[in-house]
Structure 1
Amino acid sequence: MKGRRFFLLALVVAALLLVPYSALTGDHQSGHTPYDDLTERIPEAYFDTDGDLLRDGEEPIYGTSITDVDTDDDLCPDGVELLLWLELAQGAPVDEREHKMPLGDADRDGMPNIRDPDSDNDGLPDGWEFENGLDPSVGHTFFHLLPDRWQYYPFFSGDLKDIDGDGMPDDWEDALGIENATDDSDGDGVTNVGEYLNGTDPWGPDRLYGGTP
């Protein structure tokens, strides 16, 4: 009985030795493996070639690239940007939703938001605005403060130099035409440097920070 079992075991081992190794593990000469057989059966539309969290089959819908993680170079991966635009539109009033959608055109320049690096033309990339709590579909997120370009550009650009040491970044002064920190350009009782620190408009009355309406 033991001899018969040994004989059968020997036959199995011999049969395995006769099977080409490539049949078990793949054709290593061509680099083909059983894993390749599996992936070849998965539709390419389900892949995410560039790793931007947007599947290859969805990219053509929005006109984004399957090989570029950030098609419009606005500092936000395409898939993440898609979700952020959808979230922004969902939370907006009904009459504002269309131009806040991924395929909307906030600045009406013919380029959909998801492929426009600066959808509101305020000089700040959409991705940076999303990250910093701003609305990339409008150039003036907080109406009681300055337009986004004037309020935030020095921080985006990293250019906070203040050559004259008056407490106001030179870029901010140049953008608004402000020279003297202690002047009150709009006559509302708040000095220019106070306007900068408060984030308010030095050329308009300020209702939130002690100025005269």
Structure 2
Amino acid sequence: MSLFIDQMDIWLYVLGTSLAMSAIVVYTNALSPKRMSMRKGSLQSSVSSTSVYNISDLNRSLGAYLIFAGIYSMATGIWASITWPLPSSYNLMFSDMWPLFGIASLMLGVALFLGWKLQYVTIPFAFLGIPVAVYGIDMLIHGLTAEPLAAFGLYMAIALALFLSPLAFTNTVVGKGLAALTIALLVIAVVLSFLIGVEASFEHTLAFAKWVPPQLIF
């Protein structure tokens, strides 16, 4: 058993937190009455300048978190893809997806921090949703994880949110409806991330209860 196998629960907590922040981003920039349009780094709004600055500050703050989460995810995901810390196919299902999440998180964070237009920044997200959906279906078919249905639900909720994300920021009636649906999918993914993460924490604690690093065994 790998020393680093219980990183999975930490990854799930980071994922859940990042998805929650993403839901706030969608609401703030697509549905909030104080929403604004961002073009070439400038801020435009039909409401007061104070509201615009408040939204801008929120975007930059959330962007800063997503940048750091993206860097962490890419670094640990690439490390896991190289060192193969998880057993069997689990390393494919999780470690291969983790750097892709890092790319999306980093892109969104930079876009929020610099004021880029989210409608265009999220176009690649729709394509990143394809491998997420494929791996989710794969996990369900092969019964991977202790809760295959929950893991499938997590992956599919994220995939569908990624598919819808470019349309959620179009500032149309349809776009607003899709933004609300995207938020609902993200909330479902947040709940599943933390539920699976909490279960993994208890399982990994029990699994490592009597484990001792080899260099400490006399």
TM-score w.r.t. length of structure 1 = 0.22
> Which protein has greater RCO, CA pairs closer than 8 Å, 6+ apart?
2
TM-score, normalised to structure 2, is 0.21
